Amino acid sequence: MISLLLLNGGVGARAKTAGPKQFVKINGVPILVYALKEADEVEAISQIVVNYPEGHLETVQQIVKDYAIHTPVVYAEAGATRQASVARLLDAATNDVVIIHESARPLVKAADFRELAESSHANVGFMREISFTVAPVDPETQRVTGSLERARLRNVQLPQKFAKADLRAGHDFAIREDRFYTEDATMCADAGIDVFFIEGDERNLKVTTPGDVNLATHLLRHEGEEDV
């Protein structure tokens, strides 16, 4: 069985929302609900561990109640960084396998969670080809310092699946080396742990800016129309 670690501790600064963006409604439904409902359909997920921003525990609990999430839910206050938030979620996970997702990616599907659950790889996540050229630079001098082979680069997406022990080892490595990461696949890879990827979906966007909110609203409304 699998524990879903759902990052949900943002405060909406970049999205310029009045409060945490995960409570903003898209087509009448809080952003947080989309990931919760999809995960709730996956038999292999027997526990959901969800972050909450400081002072918003009751709001998250009420959303879980209002939308009748049947999978047992455990709550963990968000940390000061994303890395710290994942560590707190990991501490509360009771299963030996975990999937990390974030409520800010509301277009995730139950099929995505199932694909990870059924993968033969212990540590695996979704990634997308990069459709543009990126270059290493020195930000201080504004000098371009070389080149990167685009075919060997991927845009990291969520969800990601890990053996709990491997993810813990990755976090221990980051603490030991005093390094900070914004996602866990590269952290574990840097720690010497094998991590694999599955080709992701361009629709699996992260809601970060006001424009992202508008795009997610359009895509989710269109999906609803297709289901009619």
CA torsion sign, 12 to 17 to 22 to 27?
Answer: negative
Q: What is the dihedral of CA 5, 10, 16, 18, to 10 degrees?
A: 100
Strand ranges in 40-169 using DSSP code E only, listed in sequence order: 45-52, 73-77, 97-102, 124-129, 137-138, 143-144, 154-163
CB 68 within 8 A of CB 80: no
The verdict on whether omega for the bond into residue 159 sits within 30 degrees of 0, i.e. cis, is yes
Task: Render pLDDT for 23-32 as a digit per residue (tens, 0 to 9).
Answer: 888 888 999 9
- Helices 31-40 & 57-66, crossing angle to 10 degrees? 50
Length of the chain: 228
Would you say residue 227 has pLDDT above 80?
no
Give how far the C-alpha of residue 74 lies from the chain's centroid of Cα atoms, to the nearest Å.
17
Centre a 10 Å sphere on the Cβ of residue 3 and count the other Cβ atoms it contains: 24
Q: What is the pTM of this model?
A: 0.89
Task: Render pLDDT for 75-123 as a digit per residue (tens, 0 to 9).
Answer: 999 999 999 999 999 999 999 999 999 999 999 999 999 999 999 999 9
Work out the average pLDDT over 191-203: 95
Task: Render pLDDT for 136-192 as a digit per residue (tens, 0 to 9).
Answer: 999 999 999 999 999 999 999 999 999 999 999 999 999 999 999 999 999 999 999
